[in-house]
């Protein structure tokens, strides 16, 4: 059987169900990934791929392609629209089936439905920590509130072991793959909290360095709200978002640390955040397009306020500092994201969708379910049991940057 392994947000070799299953049936397979890097939002015309995000993604694709080629196998990447990209592949490799990750996101779902009209298509779980069939409820009965989801999952579900992919390489041969798009190699900002390259190898190295070499997992709950430096948080979000790192691999690394070093609130908290990630993932799958509420941007937008927020020129230095960090590095702390989002929504009264789209373009760790789930959460339209979740930037600054070091750093 000839199988096109369509890599989506699972850009890795380890713990990879598609590779594992392909080897089990001795399939002739070709690794394939696609991203329309020149695409833009229909309602605004703004680009969907900021330069930092694009660079991280292409570094990740380059790393994955290198892993395949080190085994003597081709990996095909295309920046054409999906249907055209596969038509180009078929000039050399006509698949009997296409296998892919069951990714969250309505546009991702539409892609699958489009391909299923022409190809025999099989989806597999590889994005979440827990498998759907291991949850203690059907998808249609998914709890509306995270706390209810967490309690049931923690009590009744178990995380599966990782798939073995050792020697899982017997794919297609004699395929001439196109060259990758040229990387722009943007310089790393000297104050960047995320100076790391994309790719699976960088992801596994960062995980081990942060947990074991730096011993930072033991104090994570105390430091996670900081904003300066590389070590206050794991910086694994981008690797998880693109699937360079399997959430199960991270989970079992946490469990190993708890066995061999210590188990405390901080070690639990990293797992807790993986649960949040799963909650948004499964909620997005359950709700489909309604998860994103509406595609229509309000037309009456105060352009001066909107541009001031984007360009870090508001009347609030704390907000400006975070927005400048995002523009310069493609990254921002979780605390910073909550603050700038709340400011856009509640102080500037700007449509939340504009903020969500800007984050989608700029964040190197953008992932549909988490990005839009968090924005609707703060906008009072999502799965938040508390109404009017507003962050006062002056109080936040006193609490998290009382000495003004972060503001000074990004001024």
| Residue 392, token pair as written in the block | 């006062």
Task: Report the SS3 class of residue 29.
Answer: strand
Pairwise CA distance, residues 374 & 400, whole Å: 21
Q: What is the pLDDT of residues 267-317, one digit of tens each?
A: 999 999 999 999 999 999 999 988 887 656 666 789 999 999 999 999 999
Q: What is the dihedral of CA 339, 345, 350, 352, to 10 degrees?
A: 90
**At residue 310, what are phi and psi to the nearest 5 degrees?**
-60, -40
With a cut of 80, say whether residue 384 has pLDDT above it. no
Position 170 pLDDT exceeds 90: no
Question: What's the whole-number mean pLDDT along residues 371-393?
Answer: 86
The proportion of the chain whose per-residue pLDDT surpasses 70, expressed as a percent, equals: 97
Quote the pLDDT of residue 167.
Answer: 67
Q: Is the CB of residue 224 less than 8 Å from the CB of residue 334?
A: yes
Distance of alpha carbon 325 from alpha carbon 209, whole angstroms: 24
Instruction: Please report which confidence band the pLDDT of residue 42 belongs to, taking 50, 70 and 90 as the band edges.
Output: confident
CA 189 to chain centre: 22
Angle at alpha carbon of residue 350, lines to 348 and 355, rounded to 5°: 110
Query: Quick one: pLDDT at residue 301?
Result: 84
Structure confidence at residue 58 as a pLDDT band (50, 70, 90): very high
Identify the CA nearest to 61 among candidates 85, 38, 89, 31.
Answer: 31
pLDDT of residue 50: 96
Tokens of 323: 């927005």
The pLDDT value given to residue 300: 74
Question: What are 335-356's pLDDT values in tens digits?
Answer: 999 999 999 999 999 999 999 9
pLDDT at 242 over 60: yes
Q: Residue 390 in 3-state DSSP?
A: coil
* CB-based burial label for 346 (10 Å; 0-12, 13-18, 19+): middle
- Give, to the nearest 10 degrees, the angle between helix 334-342 and helix 393-400: 160
pLDDT higher than threshold 90 for residue 35: yes
At 227, give phi and psi (nearest 5°). Answer: -135, -10
Q: How far apart are CA 150 and CA 143, in angstroms?
A: 9
What's the token pair of residue 209? Answer: 């360095």
Output the pTM of the full model.
Answer: 0.96
Give residue 159's pLDDT: 98
Structure confidence at residue 374 as a pLDDT band (50, 70, 90)? very high
Would you say 222 and 178 are in contact if contact means Cβ atoms under 8 Å apart? Answer: no
- Go through the domains of the chain in sequence order and give each one's CATH number: 2-127 (3.40.50.620), 200-289 (1.25.40.80), 303-409 (1.10.579.10)
Mean pLDDT value across the chain? 94
Overall average pLDDT of the 20-27 stretch: 90
Q: How far is 353 from 346, CA to CA, in rounded Å?
A: 13
Q: Locate tokens 């001031």: which residue?
A: 308
């Amino acid at each position: 059987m000839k199988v096109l392994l369509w890599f989506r947000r699972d850009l890795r070799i380890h713990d990879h169900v598609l590779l594992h299953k392909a080897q089990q049936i001795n399939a002739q397979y070709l690794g394939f990934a696609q991203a329309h890097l020149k695409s833009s939002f229909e309602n605004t015309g703004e680009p969907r791929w900021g330069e930092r995000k694009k660079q991280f993604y292409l570094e990740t694709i380059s790393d994955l392609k290198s892993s395949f080629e080190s085994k003597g196998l081709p990996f095909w990447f295309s920046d054409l629209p999906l249907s055209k990209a596969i038509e180009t592949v078929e000039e050399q490799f006509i698949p009997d089936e296409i296998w892919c990750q069951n990714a969250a996101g309505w546009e991702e779902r539409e892609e699958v439905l489009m391909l299923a009209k022409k190809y025999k298509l099989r989806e597999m779980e590889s994005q979440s920590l827990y498998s759907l069939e291991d949850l203690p409820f059907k998808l249609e009965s998914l709890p509306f509130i995270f706390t209810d989801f967490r309690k049931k999952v923690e009590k009744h579900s178990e995380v599966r072991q990782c798939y073995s992919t050792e020697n899982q390489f017997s794919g297609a041969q004699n395929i001439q793959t196109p060259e990758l798009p040229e990387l722009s190699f943007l310089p790393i900002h000297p104050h960047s909290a995320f100076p790391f390259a994309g790719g699976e190898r960088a992801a596994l190295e960062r995980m081990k360095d942060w947990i074991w070499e730096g011993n930072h997992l033991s104090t994570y709950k105390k430091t996670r709200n900081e904003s300066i430096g590389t070590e206050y948080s794991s910086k694994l979000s981008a690797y998880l978002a693109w699937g360079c790192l399997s959430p199960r691999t991270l989970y079992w690394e946490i469990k190993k640390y708890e066995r061999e070093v210590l188990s405390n609130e901080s070690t639990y908290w990293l797992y807790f955040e993986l649960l949040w990630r799963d909650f948004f993932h499964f909620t997005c799958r359950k709700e489909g397009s309604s998860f994103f509420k509406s595609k229509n941007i309000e037309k009456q937008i105060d352009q001066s306020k909107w541009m001031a927020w984007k360009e870090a020129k508001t009347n609030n230095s704390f907000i400006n500092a975070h927005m400048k960090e995002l523009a310069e590095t493609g990254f921002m702390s979780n605390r910073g994201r909550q603050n700038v989002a709340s400011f856009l929504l509640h102080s500037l009264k700007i449509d939340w969708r504009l903020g969500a789209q800007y984050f989608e373009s700029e964040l190197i760790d953008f992932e549909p379910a988490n990005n839009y789930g968090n924005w609707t959460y703060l906008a009072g339209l999502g799965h938040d049991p508390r109404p009017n979740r507003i962050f006062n930037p002056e109080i936040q600054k006193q609490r998290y940057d009382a000495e003004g070091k972060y503001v000074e750093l990004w001024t």
